Structure 1
Amino acid sequence: MLTDAFMKSNIFQWSDWSTSEPVVSQKQQQTFDKPSKSNIRSRGNVTLRWNTTGITVAGIMNQRGTASNLLDWPMGLAIDSSNTLYVAEYSNNRVQKFLSGMSNGTTVAEQANGVQNRTSTTLNFPVGVTVDSSGNIYVADSGNSRVQLWASGASSGSTVAGNGTSSNQLNMTYGVALDSSSNTLYVADYGNHRIMAYSSGASSGSLVAGGQGIGLNKTQLYNPSTIYFDPPSNSLIIANRYAHNIVRRTLSDTQWTLIAGSTNGTNGVSSTLLNSPFGMTLDPMGNVYVADTSNHRIQLFMTGELTGITIAGTTGVRGNDSNLFWAPYAVALDSQLNLYVADRNNNRIQKFQRY
């Protein structure tokens, strides 16, 4: 009997690809593998297929420390146009920069020894990080409830959000995203269950999503952890952590729409559910990659589909093998769509090569 995926397609094509690797084919016509391998989809002109065995590109498994080749609870990732990797280390209170192919990082925000404080040169439990085209680094400094801007090459940061005034007060900043066309900064205000927007140079922010208390309705958020600005749709993609879903908030609308997970707060291990998703990102085709943290897996949701495909990790299984995670917190893609995962409790960044 054909799967539902087959029933929705008028065109079928057999493949010789191994069942051991997740394969997603994006072509102009629907393309599927044999019925037993219904995790193959299509919609563009790019084949998406990754090794399921990760390569450690930063950190050393089960080792914690402040040395340049070690990490301590990596929770945020960013990759610039040169495929340079930036890692926000929660417990080391710093952001490390790793050039492509290098296992030793350099500290680009905070101090290398991980001192925790609220000065212009220190951070306190940084979570999210993003980098603009000029190499300026924006850090969600969660323990200080602020966002710090570290200009390219600077030895200290400046506060661009969260200075404590009534319209700029934040409560645990977790995620940051930048609209480069308008130079607007978006902040996931985790403890206040809302997303705030800050225009360049503004002393206060404006509410763009949530802010109606904890809840599951379409005007509320529940601990938003990561955000992504999607220019083609002029929308924010939000990891709505304890609502166990990923939602889209178009800036011209007043309510969000569901991308992945449930609308009623249900968590689970099925291909349509998530469990405390913390991080996510998009590829140029609009597909969404989710760090399904408590399920210890990375889920891919093709544009317009509510059923996810596990492309890394094993559902519900935590571990330190090269094909497993222990609480993946962030995901990022480089220019070749290789997948990077912040494997927090294993203190490492894993790379899954696309081929």
Structure 2
Amino acid sequence: MCIDNDDNLFLADSSNHRIVKYIKDSNVPITVASGLYYPSDVFVDPLNNIFIVDRNGIHMWPVDSTKGVTVDDSRNRSFAAIYVNSKAEIYAAEVFANFTGRMIKYSSLNSTSETVIDDTPGYHVAGLVIDQCDNIYVGDRGYDRLLKYPRGINSPEVMPNPGVSDPIDITMDKYGNMYLVDYSGHYVSRWSVKYGGSHIIAGVIHVQGYDDEHLYNPVSAAIDSNGNLYVGDSKKGRIQKFVLESGDLYC
């Protein structure tokens, strides 16, 4: 899930093999990319190009195009997350059959050569985000932790007190605060880059539910320009919006 510069929301609809777009303030889905194979993540760059990962590789759909361009069409490769930085470098989290994985980088859309950033045994990147300084943050489900790769360094730092036990996705607001989605814990926590602490802002820790207060196996999150939080809830099959009011989030 991601939100573009115009606050339109994009969602990987895996079971229907497509990417859908929700125009700002609308709950009507529009199919913007189809013919995929179980897409798992989507990213929209400042030019409105759509980057997608699925079980057949990495793809890019140019703005207003009805056909995608394949960046990597390696078969039998499953990707969990994708992010494109300000230099148009493509980062993707690959997941292997044993639920370990690695993070790879393509230097550009036209590059067919990948660089392995990290393939630590047991490593399982389920979400990644890059800040304005090109520091990379990833949620590692293999070791239940938040990692930071400082710019230009392939050796990660383990972030203290991330407030998450099963990080399946991660996103960041314009102030650099990170939002970590905990799949089995049924909540979203906000981690302050400035202060280093975290607290739960959506859901109730280790309590699933079908009402508006609870989440049930959330899988993705995105933040709009006003600081509102959107959470993709897998068991309830819906997107929940938590509105920012006076510094707090309300469902």
Q: TM-score, normalised by structure 1?
A: 0.65
Aligned counterpart in structure 2 of residue 109 of structure 1, from 33, 45, 65: 33
| CA shift for structure 1 position 250 | 1.5
Aligned to 2:125: 224
| 1:250 matched to 2:150 | yes
Give me the whole-angstrom Cα distance separating, in 2, the residues matched to 1:212 and 1:280: 20
Contact 1:260 1:306 in 2 (8 A): yes
Q: Check whether the contact 1:178–1:186 (CA below 8 A) recurs between aligned residues.
A: yes
- Rounded to whole Å, the distance in 2 between the matches of 1:123 and 1:155 is 13
Q: 2:90 aligns with which of 141, 161, 185?
A: 185
Alpha-carbon distance between aligned partners in 2 of 1:153 and 1:138, rounded to the nearest angstrom: 13
Between the aligned partners of 1:240 and 1:97, the Cα distance in structure 2 is: 28
Contact 2:127 2:167 in 1 (8 A): no
Percentage of matched positions with identical amino acids: 27
State how many pairs are aligned: 241
Residue 242 of structure 1 aligns to a residue whose secondary structure is coil
1:174 pairs, out of 74, 80, 85, with: 80
Q: Which residue of 2 aligns with 1:203?
A: 112
Higher helix share: 1
Offset at 1:203? Answer: 1.1
- Greater gyration radius: 1
Structure 2 unmatched runs, 5+: 246-251
Q: CA distance change for structure 1 residues 260 and 324 in 2, over 3 Å: closer, same or farther?
A: farther
Please tell me whether the aligned partners of residues 339 and 353 of structure 1 are also in contact (alpha carbons under 8 angstroms): yes
Question: Structure 1 residue 194 and structure 2 residue 194: aligned?
Answer: no
More strand by share: 2
Cα shift readout 1:293-340 (whole Å, capped 9, x = no counterpart) = 110001111125554211110011111101111111111110011111
Q: Which residue does 1:148 correspond to in 2?
A: 59
| C-alpha distance in structure 1 between counterparts of 2:39 and 2:209, whole Å | 25
Contact 2:203–2:213 under 8 Å retained in 1: yes
Please say if residues 163 and 199 of structure 2, whose CA atoms lie closer than 8 Å, have aligned partners that are also in contact. Answer: no
- Give the whole-Å Cα distance in 2 for the aligned partners of 1:153 and 1:284: 26
Question: Which of 233, 236, 252 is 2:136 aligned to?
Answer: 236
- Closer, same or farther in 2 for the Cα pair 1:241/1:103, shift >3 Å? same
Contact kept, 8 Å, 1:259 with 1:304, in 2: the verdict is no
Structure 2 residue aligned with 1:62: none
* Higher RCO, Cα 8 Å, sep 6+: 1
RMSD over aligned CA atoms reads 1.7
- Matches of 2:60 and 2:152, distance apart in 1: 27
Structure 2 length-normalised TM? 0.90
CA distance change for structure 1 residues 243 and 170 in 2, over 3 Å: closer, same or farther?
farther
